Structure 1
Amino acid sequence: MNTNPLVSVVIPTFRRKEGVKRAIESALNQSYPSIEVVVVDDNEDDDYSLFIKQICASCASHRLRLYKRRQNGGGARARNSGILRARGEFVAFLDDDDVMLPDKIEKQINLLQQQGADVCSCDMLERFVTDGVLSPVKREKLIKGTIGQDEYFIAKNAAYTSMFLIRRTALIAVHGFSNTRKYQDKILMLKLYIKGFSIVAVDETLVVMTSHMGERITSKRTDLQSELAKCRYYDLAARRVSADAVYNIGILTASIRSRVLSQQGKYLASLALNMKTLFRVRSSCHWRIVAKAFKRNLLLYHSAI
């Protein structure tokens, strides 16, 4: 067994200038010796792409590779691009304004090798920033990555991409991140759990996440497709656990479904309004596109509910 298997750290970046270099350097400066860093440029704006190229050049490391996507695809597609280009046996993820503590990879690799596991999480410190400085109202919060019992992991465990270190073959087996607007990281962990991959966690804070108050990329509003996808994977995960766990998870999924139901009326009303508008457009092409989308979303809704 290779005692120092190569670890690929995938850093997707989109419209970020502040903190990108700090994130890259925190990955390059790990105490673990066998590291490569794959920066995935998901920008369409040439100015941002040029900035990222200059940042990578300034790091002057043969262990750093930059991959430029042809078009913006969002977080899931950017991370999946990184997985496909990773050369490591294990893959870690780091958001472009987060920071790994120097011994993160070393401690996670050690635990993975000791336990013979496939996935390792850790605790994370979330810092809240307003206009580049710590928020005076809400400064920081500790997020636990503890695994615990099956039902606890499924229902309660926090899942943020910067916490993870995952065997690359496991990521390939579950087809990487699902392309939903929300819950990409949570759904990934559920997919790994459903497939039977073993998951462990280092009970220490090994990464710092920056949350920008008032500038969140992902909307807090309920997204129907994301909620339904998460609900479906909760149901699949429940098949792996005990009757008590199924009951606990059932309460959780019932809560999710109630949110979905409350959104369904608004969502279908919005679709209907769009379709009514397109009645006035004498273009069969436009009509077919909308009809197909309407049918797909109805099927998605009924399959999950």
Structure 2
Amino acid sequence: MLTSMKPDKKLVTVIVPTYGRSNELSNAIQSVLKQTYRNIELIIVDDNSCIKNRNAVKSVVSSFANDRDIIYLGDGINRGGAGARNLGLDIAKGEYVTFLDDDDFFSENKIEKQVQHIEKNNLDVSVCDMNFSQNGKFLDVSNCYARVNSLKDFIINGNCYTPMILARKDVLKTVNGFTKTPRFQDHLLMLKILAKEYKVGHIKEKLFTHSNHNGMRITYSSGSAIGFKKKFDEESKYLKLLNSGELQQYQFSKNLVEMKILRSTRSFLDLAKLTSKSFCNIRSFNQFYAYVKCLIRNVFFPNRHF
């Protein structure tokens, strides 16, 4: 636990899952230790099953032993991102909890600003914006900005990365933490939080840096397809909140994703049917542009990151 804190400061737990990137973990840890908010519990959840990788993580963690006490969890079981974060959440002692990926890093005042944001506005969850780094360059893209206005808006336009979130621990426990899925764990977590009508606030400041290694969009692997299905299944519970126009917008976006998945799985007959259906459902220039962009990439760049 970090020291030199005021006794009235509430404990914040930072959970950092790590898998296969021990060489970048040091920067993530340093960004937590340099926080202006001092009353912090830091938990490193080692999700590596390989002994060599676990030893590398232990070496990084032990290099900070003279500076701070860091809780290390590593039993050789690979649980995936959701399982690793939930494991950390199970032992977290903080009243508040936030998360950091092993290749990302916090701004020095990230935790202080979000705790103040919660307490001044009587919130359950604070969500910040982020810097977006790709191949060493900072990009100002839509992903940088959280969008957590309401459950209905989140289903259509939502954007929330895990490290954006600082929440009361009891909120995270009430929604049963992260859903086990290959992708969209952060999206599904926020979906559950908004569905429970917790008070979520957006602090419009970029308070951490996300390092993107896979291009601006994901490739549509089998894991991605599973993740999208889980996302759509969970969102379907709340589609009754949407009016006809919003439902059309949602369905159109869903169809574009399914087109990419069908292309990656080489389901060409189903792809042809859905491509035709999507074209007939275009209702705006923006949808037409998105459709053409998707079509071009499916035909000419099927293996490109999306």
TM bucket by the smaller chain? 0.7 to 0.9
Which letter does structure 2 place at the counterpart of 1:156? Answer: N
User: For residues 230-276 of structure 1, what are the alpha-carbon distances to aligned partners after superposition, in whole Å with 9 as ceiling and x for unaligned?
Assistant: 1133233445x5x55x742552145325644885799798xxxxxxx
The aligned runs of 1:264-279 (5 Å cut-off) are none
User: For residues 50-92 of structure 1, what are the alpha-carbon distances to aligned partners after superposition, in whole Å with 9 as ceiling and x for unaligned?
Assistant: 1111111111244411000331111111111111111111110
Q: Cα distance 1:149–1:40, how it changes in 2: closer, same or farther (>3 A)? A: closer
Would you say 1:86 and 2:57 are equivalent positions? no
> Unaligned regions of 5+ residues in structure 2, if any?
1-6, 268-306
The aligned runs of 1:48-87 (5 Å cut-off) are 48-60=53-65, 61-87=67-93
Structure-2 separation of matches of 1:146 and 1:63 = 35
What TM-score does the superposition give when structure 1 sets the normalisation length? 0.75
> Corresponding residue for 1:5?
10
Q: Cα distance 1:192–1:153, how it changes in 2: closer, same or farther (>3 A)? A: same
Which letter does structure 2 place at the counterpart of 1:21? Answer: S
Structure-1 separation of matches of 2:229 and 2:48 = 29
How far 1:103 sits from its partner (Å)?
Answer: 0.3
User: For residues 118-172 of structure 1, what are the alpha-carbon distances to aligned partners after superposition, in whole Å with 9 as ceiling and x for unaligned?
Assistant: 111111011012xxxx26xxx4235012434554333223211111111111111
The aligned runs of 1:225-304 (5 Å cut-off) are 225-238=226-239, 241=241, 244=243, 247-249=245-247, 251-256=249-254, 259-260=257-258
Q: Give the secondary structure class of the aligned counterpart of 1:27.
A: helix
Which letter does structure 1 place at the counterpart of 2:249? Answer: I
The aligned runs of 1:1-305 (5 Å cut-off) are 3-60=8-65, 61-129=67-135, 134=136, 139-142=138-141, 143-148=144-149, 150-213=151-214, 219-221=219-221, 223-238=224-239, 241=241, 244=243, 247-249=245-247, 251-256=249-254, 259-260=257-258
What TM-score does the superposition give when structure 2 sets the normalisation length? 0.75
Q: Cα distance 1:68–1:105, how it changes in 2: closer, same or farther (>3 A)? A: same
Q: Give the secondary structure class of the aligned counterpart of 1:4.
A: coil
Q: Contact 2:148–2:159 at 8 Å: present in 1 too?
A: no
Q: For this pair of structures, how many residues does the alignment match?
A: 257
Q: Contact 1:234–1:249 at 8 Å: present in 2 too?
A: no
Q: Cα distance 1:156–1:19, how it changes in 2: closer, same or farther (>3 A)? A: same
Which letter does structure 2 place at the counterpart of 1:173? Answer: T
CA RMSD between the two structures: 2.8
| Identical amino acids, percent of aligned pairs | 29
Q: Give the secondary structure class of the aligned counterpart of 1:8.
A: strand
Q: Cα distance 1:207–1:237, how it changes in 2: closer, same or farther (>3 A)? A: farther
